[in-house]
Amino acid sequence: SWNKPNSQGRLFSVNLLDDSGEIRATAFTQQVDRLFPMLEAGKVYYISNAQVKMARQQFSTLNNQYELTFDDSTIVEQCQETTGVPQEQYEFVPLANLMKYEKGAIVDVLCVVRSVEDVVEITPKNGPTDRKMVKRDMSVVDKSGYQVRATVWGDDAREFKVPVDAIVAFKGMRVGDFGGRTLSLPSIGSLTANPDIPEAHMLRGWYDSAGRNASFQTYESMGGGGGGGEGRTDQIKTMAAVRDENVGGDHAEYFSVKGTIVFVRSTTLAYPGCASPDCSKKVIEDASTGQWRCEKCERSFASPEYRYIFSVNVSDETGQNWLQCFNEVGEQLLGCSANEMIRLQQQDETAFNQRIADATFQEFQFRCRAKSETFNDNTRVRISVMTMTKVDYVAEAHRLNKLIEAFSM
């Protein structure tokens, strides 16, 4: 379900499989009560009179350009003949290869559960204070020699009964970059314990013979992926090095910088985004109706959900660079949502300027991605902030001391 100031409702989605492939189907508010109790994973059904639409890939983990929508005329009947049922299809990614995937990428993972934590309840960062979410973290490993933190949410977290050392096939895991690389199972994903597939039997054989007592690498303190080398740590660069080495000029590169924010470009802090769950596309106001239209979702809203996108000028002892910040970093830096900052900008200029002032002359360590972009025949390197953390001065002192020792050898 979703409940936003300008929209609310319920929905559920199912992944359907036959001999030709997979397709996603979704039922909205009116159909949830009618169809949800009828559908059960692993059962076979006859389905007719569903609408066929172009797939919205941000809501799907399947390789299909189309999807189905269940409406009032959709008929769902269980089939009692269940011979020759096709198995779910996977494209497994080794845990050691997660650095090759951008934050937000969707992957399938076959792994062994090494440890499972208790369910915890959290309050969403951008949601109402009375709304709670539950999650469960676990550590998983595979034959590639890596250990990764995986998270399941909601009913998957509450009902997770998989024991330690079991094999789990996760379909549609979302890659995160907190602490290097993590995995999270969204509502559109699924998990199967001890699946009866050849890959799982091979993993079981390896784990029982060698993996149970093996040591595993982790992605802790490693950089955000995609730009090269598995298990490579981010290189800490100076501002001068970023400029002089033409970082990102030939291909996307990831690195860290330590510096002080000396200016926040506040003329345009945010853009009006779609209010639908999991969609962040820009919306356009219809002057005739006052509604905000998302062309991707094909829906209109009474008001947009603003999202940060702005630049900061960051300086160190060697020079300065402009870094682009997006929504999560913006909320961390300015201490409030983009909706609140836009409200202050329009209604309370003094409070707005104070937020900007409080954000300047603070020192952070920034993990960045640099990539060359071309717009209107002009090519330039854009540096985007992936994560931002307060400087750990003890760790930084140790790092600088090692550099001094290296020069004195």
Residue given tokens 């497994």 in the structure block? 92
DSSP assignment string, 329-350: HHHHHHSS-HHHHHHHHHH-HH
DSSP assignment string, 26-64: EEEHHHHHHHGGG--TT--EEEESPEEEE--GGG--SS-
Instruction: Show the low-confidence residues of the chain (pLDDT under 50).
Output: 221-233
Alpha-carbon distances, residue 266 vs 76, 274, 316, 345, 356 (angstroms): 53, 22, 21, 10, 8
Strands 66-70 and 21-28: parallel
DSSP-based three-state secondary structure for 327: helix
Alpha-carbon distances, residue 113 vs 35, 207, 320 (angstroms): 33, 11, 45
- Provide φ and ψ at 6, rounded to 5°: -115, 5
Per-residue model confidence (pLDDT) at position 280: 83
Per-residue model confidence (pLDDT) at position 228: 37
Distance CA(348)–CA(340), nearest Å, equals 11
Per-residue model confidence (pLDDT) at position 406: 67
Side chain identity, residue 50: A
pLDDT (tens digit per residue) in 354-375: 999 999 999 999 988 888 887 7
DSSP-based three-state secondary structure for 398: helix
- Provide φ and ψ at 106, rounded to 5°: -105, 130
